[in-house]
Each structure stands twice: as structure tokens, then as C-alpha cells.
Chains A and B, each alone.
Chain A
Amino acid sequence: MKVQKAIIKNFMPFYKEVPVDLQTTSDSPLILMGGKNDRGKTAFFTAMRFCLYGFEGGNAAKSKKRRQAINRKAAKEGLGEASVTLKFTHNQNVYEIERVIEFDQVDDPDERDWNSCYVNVKKPSVSEGKETVIDQAPNEDPAKKYNRFINGILPESASDFFFFDGEELDRYAGSYNDSEADVREAIETVLGIREIQNAIHDLSDEGKDYYQDEWKDKAEDVEELQGLSEDISSVQSDIEAKKTEMNSAKTELRKKEKRRSQIEDDLAEASGVAGKQDRVNEIKEEIGGSGQDDGLTHDLDEKRGERRELHSRLGPLMIGIGAKHAIDNYDVSIVSGMEDTIEYLLDRDNCLCGADIDEDAEETLEDTLKQIRNDEMSTISELQGFASDHLDCLTSGDYPENLNVSQAKSEYVSIQENIEGLEEDISDLEDEKETLEGEIEEATVTAEEAESLRDTKETLDEEIGGLKTTIEDLDEKIDELEEEQRELEQTVNSMEAADEEEQRYRTLMKLSDECADAWEEIRDRYVETQRESVEKHASKIFQELTNKNDVYEGLSISKDYELDVKTISGDRDIEEQNPSKGARQIIAYSFIAGLNKFTAREAPVVIDTPIGRLDPEHKENLIDYFPNFRDQVIILYQPGELDEEDIEQMGDNISSHLEIRQREDDPESSEVSPIESETELKRVLAK
């Protein structure tokens, strides 16, 4: 961590925003911030710690500190927020930590109080602006995510070796009793020993306990596994049995469905046969009639009978034609005409031709007349008599009156047409009947058989329904058993590793022990190495800082990081040596310097009131060492601690020299500004 900038807003004496540029260079690692008492040096120091870690203590203590941290004027004006923002680099990333206290406006600043307190961490976005790395919800305490973040940079437990008050350093120069366990922990954290300790603890205690518990579980699992395997076998047997039963049922079902399908086909055919039979019966009735006086056959017989009647009358009909001819075409009056002529001639003396009619001629005429009258007339007349008799009989018979030959002919034609129509109809119907009867004959199912088949189908329907239900039930049961098997197998699979797991955990337990042992060994060596290194460096620094080089030869650091001083007459613990407060301070500085040299943490050193009780020689030595402390050292001093010579001594190692002072426009508030003139410098340094 290398701090670039601090922005303090409405925090303690700092009213509104007070930016402080804290950038340093590797050649100029120092930032001096001078200020008289009650100007805000400690407030600045507090602000930095507050930003990183919040306030220490229980809830009540924290609450009080938050309340007191709110700038009074800001509270009265209701500015709403007090905050401290630190912008820093760490592992080549730039971060901004902003910790905020929200408050409401109060008329009496003594009544000020906070509403919420939160922290967020941002870093520059790849595109523009900033992106939030951690956004803690208000009043979320402890801030787990934030703590994990800050512990990766500078754990609070180690922060005392980076943020410290020079006047309180002596607590590190002595032995640590039980209440100083946090000091020991802090030292170990700084040197990275804490992590090793934690790893050893995790491995030997928690890790081993965990693996042992797991191993026990797995050992039980192995036993359970055997039982489960037997259960699986049993379930598989049940499944097989059910499947066999279901297959049998399915086979039976298929058979019955096939049989039913056949029956349905037969019934369909029978249904068709019935229809055909009905049609055949219709045809028979149409042809044969339902009684004695209907039906086409009856009609045909009737017509044929009528025709036969006319057939039988062929002779009379043909004779009738002749008779009519004889009557119509032979006029007896022709004969009477000749008779009249002869009679006329007999009354004359002369013939029409003029010839005389003598006695011979008259006799001839008389003979002729006699012949005409006796032979032809009687013959034709007699014939016409027969003809007339015949015609009378022809028209007065059983037939309707006035039935002449032409009428008989017409009637015959009509009868013949009727007969032909009837014969055709009968023939068509007979053909249809024959076809249907043929189809009926070819049909395999009679009506009686159909009735039996219907009964059979009904029975089959019931049986099929029963089989389907059975199959469904079996299917469901099989599903349940298979699900049970799957679950058992899953359990077995998860446990099958139990054997391997059991072996594995046994191995891990052993490894945990071995790793713990190895780490202990590493730790011991590391601690010793670190101790030696820290001791050596601290001794060196002590030698540089102390004003009693003739007495002190260095520092000795025990494995518990308790300090002893090496004197020319031997090692002594500090209590026994009982150096002055200033000397203790130097011892502490040396120790801290040693720790910082070998720390695994990258962080600035911020020292409030660095000089404290140091005498000029110690001070000079310390000032000489400051640039070597860390690559960023922020020194908050009060007037009298440093003078112009000290400033000059630090020379180019100073990146910036700032003053924390009252604001001219608001004496109750403080500001931070660079010292840019000798006058200002003198003012800051003046007691």
C-alpha cells in the first residue's frame, strides 16, 4: 500500500472537504505534517486509521466515536456526511477506500448523532470513472468482505507497527505478559508468522479433526455401503420379477387385442351381411310380393295371362279382319243395281244400246235376273251374315265392348311393353339378389355367429381392461422400484468412493499431521530466521539510534519477541536494564524498524508525535533513519519536535511539507496546506 491522497470531509476539525496530497517518491519518501496542538494532527492520524479500520471498541464506544467524529459546524449546517477517503496503490492497482458517517442536521452540535456508517472500495474502471470493488451495506458490521480485503493488504492487528504514536512506543520495548498477547499476534502478523501459525493450527487441529470426522463417516459409510449393495440386489430381483410379470401380461394383452380385432372385423362383415340379407328379402318381397295379389311376379303373371288371352284369340281376331273386309268391301247393292237395270230393260222394248228386246232377249234377261237374285246375292249375303255373326261375337265377349282389332293390337302392344318392363325389372332384381346371396354365402359369419361373437367381444373387452390396469400398476411399481434402485445406487456411488474416501481421509489425516509437522518445522526455522534477521537489523538500527554505543551492543530478541538489550556486560531484559523513556522509545523504534524490514506487508509508516521524549542525539539519529523506515513515511509533528535543522537534515528526503492549521475564515475548523515559505515554516516550527 502506498497512499497517494487523503480527502477528509466534515471529520473532526476538518470542515467540508480537505484534500491532502500524500504522494512520495522512492528518493523522497517523507511527508511532514506539522501543526500545533489541537489543530488536527491526531485527528488526521485518526482519520487515516478510521478510513482503513473504522473505530475500535464495542458498539457503544464506536457509536460515541462516530458521533464525536462528525464536524460540529457540518452537523449544524446539516451537510449530511462525514467521510475519509484514501486513495492508494497496492500490487499495481489503484484503490479508493471511502468510509462514511451519515448524520442529520442539528441545531445544537452537542446533539449531533450519526445515522449510518459504511465503507466502500472503488478502483478506476477500464472504460471511464470508477467501479465498485466492495460495497458494504450501511450498518453492516462487521464488514466481512471489507475485512477480507483490508486483511489482504494490512491487517488491523499488524497496523500498530505502521500507524503508531511515538509517545506510546515503549510498550513494545519490554516483555509481553499475557495481556500483551495481541502484541505478540501483531508481531507475528507483521512477519507473516501468524499465517504459518494459522496454517499449522488449521492442519493439525481443524484440518485433522475434519479429516478424522470425515474418515469416521466414510468408515461408517463402507459398512452402510455393503448393506446398500444387498438392498440394491433385492430391489433388482423385485424389478425383474415385476418385469417378467408385466411382459406376460403384455403378451396376453396382445393376444386378446388381436382376437378382439378379428372379432370386430367379423362383426363388421356380419353387419354388412345383415344389410345384404335385408336387401335380399326386400327383393324377394318385391318380386314375389307379400301376399297372393302383389309382387312383380304376380304382375307379370297377370300381364302374361292377359297376353295369353289375346294369343288365344288370334284366330277370331284374324277372322275378324276378314269379316270386316267382307262386310265393308262387298256391297250387295252392286248386285241389286244390276237387278234394277235388268228390270228396267225388261220393261222396255229397246235396250240402252237401241237393240230390240225380243222374246229371246227378254228370256235371257229374266234368267240372268233370276241367277243374280238367287246365287251371288245369297252367297255374299250369307257370307256377310257369317261375318256379321262373327264380329258380333268378337265384340260381345268377355272383352270390353267395341274392342276391335286395332284396339286389340294396341292393347297387345301395351301388355307386351308391360311384360318386357316387368321381366326386365325382375331380371335386374334377380341379378342383384343373386349377387347379394353370393356375397352372403361367401361371408364367413352368420347372424347367429355374430351374436356369439358380440358376447365374446364383451368378455374380451373386460379382460383387456383388466390386463391394462394390471400392466399400468406393474409399470408404476417398476418405476418406483427403479427409482428406489437409482437412489440406492446414487447413494452407493456417492459412498463408493467411501472406500476410496476412507482411504483418502486416512491419508489426509496423516498428511495433515505431516504437513503440520512440516510447517511447524518451517515455522520454527522461519521464526528463528526471522528472529535472527529482525534481531540483527534491530540491533543495527539500535546501534545507529542509541546515544550509548559504548554501553549497548545491540538488541536481543527472544522467540517470543521479547526484547533484551545487549550490553557490554551481557544481555539484560529491558526491565532489568530500565532504560529511560527516551531510550525505550529508541529500542521500540529499532524493533519496529527491524520488523518493517522483514515484514510481508507493504504499507506506509505514519507516526504521530515522532520525537516524544527523545533527546537531541536520539532525535538526530532517528531523523537520519526516517527515510530508511519505509518507502513512504508520514510524520505528524508538533511545534518543538522538529526544528529548521531537522528539516534541513531530512532535506531532499521530504516529498512535501504540510501544515495543519486553523482556517482563517473559520477558526474552529482546520485545513491542510503546503508550507511554501520560510515564514510559514518558522510558524509551524515555532513552539
Chain B
Amino acid sequence: MSTTTSRRLKTARFDIYRNMVLRTARKDDNVEVNDKNDYPFNTNYELFTAGLVLGFLRDDLRSESEGSYSQDFIQVNRVGGSSENEYREGIEFIYKLIELEHSDEDPEDSELWEIALQYADAGVEAIDQDISLKDEFDLLAFIDEADQKWEGRLEDVLVDQ
């Protein structure tokens, strides 16, 4: 298995990260943070993780993100700090699934990670769209979507092996 040291979280939709991640917004001089609760995520990796899993579940890749990544946040192995945490382990779990799904293609780690980044951007876009549409963060809808899609998605990945 490839190591996580070369994998860095990136996005071609940093604008969405700026609007949805508290720390990112605070760092931007052009953004005035009035209420932290207006930002659903504290860190970029939190949003990245949510976007990654949503993009994976929908099998939705934002291919246009390739080559357009304007910001990289953090290495995967630093996500959540030095100790193990649900975000890093979650990313690893999805990455593993991606790896399994594309195992017959024998891709490089970078190619697999590129897929993950595209999944993440697609998922981040979907979350942003959902919030814009509903004017609220509908967590339960995403959870329900996960409930509905995981079984089929795992079959896609594992049964076809």
C-alpha cells in the first residue's frame, strides 16, 4: 500500500472552502466572520472528508479540477493532528475503496489520489449546492443518502473484484 506522506489535500474550489470553513474564512482578510456558526466546518479537512465521501458515494468526479488545484491544505497523515482521528481514517478508508475499485487498472498512487481529489471537489460542490438550495445545512439528508448508497457502492467496489 502506498504511503500517505505524498498525499495532500487540495481543491480547485477554494472559494467554497472560504465560505464554508471557519479557519479559512478567518485567514482571508476580505472575509469578515460575524458568526462562526455560519461556517459548518472548522477546518478544510473536515469539508474535504465530507466532499470526498459524498463524491465517492455519487461516483461523481469533478474532472475539471485536475490541474486547477489552487490550494493544498495539509498532508493526509497530518489531518487531525498526530493521533489517529476519524477524518484521517475516513480518508484512508475511501482511498482504499478507490484503490480497490481501480485495482485492475494498476494505477499509480498519484492517479488514485487524483481521483480522490476530484471526488472531493465534486462532493464539496454538491454540499455547497445543497446548502444554497435549502438555505441550510441538511445533515440528515446527507446521512440518509449515505444510508441508501453505501451498500450498492460497496458492491460496486468489492463484488466486482
Chain A interface (Cβ < 8 Å from any Cβ of B): 301, 304-305, 307-308, 310-323, 325-326, 329-330, 375-376, 379-380, 382-383, 386-387, 389-390, 392-394, 397, 405, 408-409, 412-413
Contacts and interface: CB of A to CB of B under 8 A. Distances in A.
Interface of B: 1, 36-37, 39-43, 46-54, 57, 84-90, 92-94, 96-97, 100, 103, 127, 137, 139-140, 142-143, 145-147, 150-151, 153-154, 158, 161
Nearest to B51: A315
A318 B53 contact: yes
A322 B89 contact: no
Residue among A313, A382, A405 with max Cβ neighbours from chain B (10 Å): A313
A394 B86 contact: yes
5 contacts: A316-B49, A319-B86, A321-B150, A322-B57, A329-B151
Contact of A390 (B40, B86, B143): B86
Contacts of A310: 139
A13 to B, nearest CB: 148
A330 B139 contact: no
A427 B53 CA distance: 36
A314 B86 CA distance: 11
A313 B90 CA distance: 11
B158 A330 contact: yes
Contact of A325 (B42, B52, B89, B151): B151
A314 B46 CA distance: 8
Contacts of A413: 140
B143 A318 contact: yes
A234 B100 CA distance: 130
Contacts of A325: 150-151, 154
A365 B54 CA distance: 41
A308 B90 contact: no
A314 B48 CA distance: 10
B96 A383 contact: yes
Majority SS at the chain A contact face: helix
A475 B80 CA distance: 98
Contacts of B48: 315
A192 to B, nearest CB: 137
B50 A315 contact: yes
Given A390-B89, A409-B140, A315 B150 contact: no
B53 A319 contact: yes
Contacts of B40: 308, 311-312, 314
Contact of A318 (B36, B50, B89): B50
B1 A312 contact: no
A316 B42 CA distance: 14
Nearest to A405: B143
A311 B41 CA distance: 7
A311 B137 contact: yes
A317 B52 CA distance: 12
Contacts of B39: 308
B139 A390 contact: no
B96 A393 contact: no
Given A315-B50, A319-B49, A409-B143, A386 B92 contact: yes
Residue among A311, A313, A380, A389 with max Cβ neighbours from chain B (10 Å): A311
Given A308-B40, A315-B46, 13 more contacts: A314-B49, A318-B54, A322-B57, A322-B146, A323-B90, A382-B1, A383-B97, A383-B100, A386-B96, A390-B89, A392-B89, A394-B86, A412-B140
A399 B93 CA distance: 21
Contacts of B147: 321
Nearest to A316: B86
B151 A315 contact: no
Contact of B87 (A315, A329, A383, A392): A315
Given A314-B139, A318-B53, A382-B1, A393 B89 contact: yes
A321 B90 contact: no
Contacts of B88: 393
A84 B161 CA distance: 172
Nearest to B97: A383
A379 B41 contact: no
A393 B85 contact: yes
Contacts of A301: 37
A365 B147 CA distance: 39
Contact of B89 (A375, A389, A409): A389
Contacts of A307: 37, 139
A314 B137 CA distance: 10
B100 A379 contact: yes
B57 A318 contact: yes
B140 A305 contact: no
Contacts of B151: 325, 329
A329 B154 contact: yes
B86 A393 contact: yes
A386 B50 contact: no
A326 B156 CA distance: 12
A314 B93 contact: no
B88 to A, nearest CB: 8
B96 A322 contact: no
Top 10 nearest A-B pairs (CB, nearest first) are A315-B49, A315-B50, A311-B40, A316-B86, A319-B90, A393-B86, A304-B37, A390-B89, A318-B146, A314-B50
A253 to B, nearest CB: 61
A612 to B, nearest CB: 159
A412 B137 CA distance: 12
A330 B153 CA distance: 13
A322 B150 contact: yes
A85 B57 CA distance: 155
Nearest to B45: A315
B153 A322 contact: yes
A319 B46 contact: no
Nearest to A375: B161
Given A312-B46, A326-B154, A379-B103, A319 B93 contact: yes
A307 B86 CA distance: 18
Residue among B41, B47, B90 with max Cβ neighbours from chain A (10 Å): B90
B84 A393 contact: yes
Contacts of B90: 315-316, 319-320, 323, 390, 393
Given A322-B154, A325-B150, A397 B86 contact: yes
Nearest to A408: B143
Contact of A321 (B42, B86, B143, B158): B143
Contacts of A383: 93, 96-97, 100, 158
A317 B37 contact: no
Contacts of A386: 89, 92-93, 96
A376 B100 CA distance: 10
A544 to B, nearest CB: 160
Contacts of B150: 321-322, 325
A381 to B, nearest CB: 11
Contacts of B145: 318
A354 B150 CA distance: 42
Nearest to B92: A386
Contacts of B161: 375-376, 379
Contacts of A397: 85-86
A323 B52 CA distance: 14
B109 to A, nearest CB: 15
Contacts of B86: 313, 316, 319-320, 390, 393-394, 397
A602 B50 CA distance: 155
B154 A330 contact: yes
A409 B97 CA distance: 25
Contact of A316 (B87, B127, B154): B87
